[in-house]
């Protein structure tokens, strides 16, 4: 027969275990609610009325070839803070005769998970000719074209280009959005730190190149983004993240659709 002290100890241990489980459950619910909280986000075109949207992941013209999970409407969302900075960029380039054209902004974790599943299926090469003709799909994880987490999911990253108001066409950047290869790097054929065009295309596996004018166009976008608090990515001329992003450690889960629904 166990002593009263033994019974009391077991009872206290059980109470402690229940408390730990309860606290963990509360923490999980708190983390989940934070990831689902869109209250600090705005519709991008509300923050930047002059922006043009071409939400590639809502349609089928993207490297997957289908609509991406989590994109329920052809709109773009962004944190309020990043939206304010992007409005300053828009005003800057508008004065030079351009408008911002947005391909992607906030990306829910479901969208990133879709990319990961697609990359794991090496037999699915539907869009290879358009976005990664020089790569075997098996290297996409290794070369970090696809990763399990994206800065877009934190809400302060945007993929964009410039629209020329005179020609009424996208500015020629010498390459398509989401091209997987060195031709997309900001330092391809030039030095982005100085804005100098060098013509060095030695990193291109097929000897592709961009012109002086195309490199200059990339620099117009880059310099405007940097002036207003965004930082670039070394592998994509179109990708920028707010330096002082408000949610550096939160990967949100709510879908892309009009806020308030």
Question: How many Å apart are CA 200 and CA 187, to the nearest integer?
Answer: 9
HSE value, Cβ hemisphere, 13 Å, CA-based, for 203? 16
Q: Yes or no: say if 24 and 38 are a contact pair by the CB < 8 Å rule.
A: no
Question: How many Å apart are CA 117 and CA 110, to the nearest integer?
Answer: 11
**223 catalytic, yes or no?**
no
Residue 44: partners with Cβ closer than 8 Å, 6 or more residues away: 51, 53, 75, 76, 77, 78, 83, 86, 102, 105, 158
Question: How many Å apart are CA 107 and CA 255, to the nearest integer?
Answer: 8
Of the residues 84, 183, 236, 245, which is catalytic? 236
Active site residues: 236
């Amino acid at each position: 027969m166990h002593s009263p002290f033994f019974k009391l100890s077991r009872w206290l241990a059980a109470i402690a275990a229940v408390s730990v489980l309860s606290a963990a459950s509360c923490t999980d619910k708190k983390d989940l609610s934070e990831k689902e909280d869109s209250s600090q986000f705005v519709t991008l075109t509300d923050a930047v009325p002059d922006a043009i949207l071409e939400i590639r992941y809502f349609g089928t013209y993207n490297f997957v070839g289908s609509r991406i999970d989590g994109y329920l409407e052809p709109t773009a969302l962004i944190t309020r803070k990043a939206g304010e900075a992007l409005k300053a960029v828009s005003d800057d380039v508008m004065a030079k005769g351009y408008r911002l054209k947005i391909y992607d902004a906030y990306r829910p974790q479901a969208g990133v998970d879709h990319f990961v599943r697609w990359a794991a299926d090496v037999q699915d090469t539907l869009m290879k000719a358009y976005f990664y003709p020089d790569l075997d799909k098996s290297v996409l994880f290794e070369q970090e074209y696809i990763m399990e987490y994206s800065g877009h999911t934190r809400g302060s990253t945007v993929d964009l280009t410039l629209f020329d108001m005179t020609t009424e066409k996208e500015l020629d950047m010498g390459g398509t959005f989401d091209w997987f290869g060195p031709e997309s790097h900001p330092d391809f054929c030039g030095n982005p730190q100085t804005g100098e065009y060098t013509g060095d295309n030695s990193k291109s596996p097929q000897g592709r190149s961009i012109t002086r004018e195309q490199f200059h166009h990339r620099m117009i976008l880059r310099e405007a983004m940097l002036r207003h608090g965004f930082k670039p990515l070394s592998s994509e001329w179109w990708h920028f993240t707010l330096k002082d992003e408000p949610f550096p450690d939160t990967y949100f889960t709510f879908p892309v659709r009009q806020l308030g629904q």
